[in-house]
Amino acid sequence: MVRVLFVCLGNICRSPMAEAIFRDLVKKEQLVDSVQVDSCGTGDWHLGQSPHPGTKEILDQQGISYDGMESRLLTADDFNQFDYLVAMDQNNYNTLIGSNHHEGTAIVKLMEFVEDIEEDDIPDPYYTGDFGQTYRLVSDGCYGLLQFLKEKHHLN
| Catalytic site includes residue 136 | no
| Catalytic site includes residue 67 | no
| Catalytic site includes residue 124 | yes
Strands 84-87 and 2-8: parallel
Q: Which of 24, 38, 89, 124 is catalytic?
A: 124
Q: Classify each residue of 46-80 as buried b or exposed e, where b means 16 or more C-beta atoms within 10 Å of its C-beta.
A: beeebbbebbbebbeeeebebeebebbebeeebbe
Give dist(CA 92, CA 112) in Å, integer.
14
**Strand partners for 36:** 3
Q: Which of 8, 13, 40, 142 is catalytic?
A: 8
Q: CB under 8 Å, gap of 24 or more: what pairs does 118-121 form?
A: 120/90, 121/88, 121/89, 121/90
Q: Which of 13, 14, 72, 89 is catalytic?
A: 14
Residues known to be catalytic: 8, 14, 124
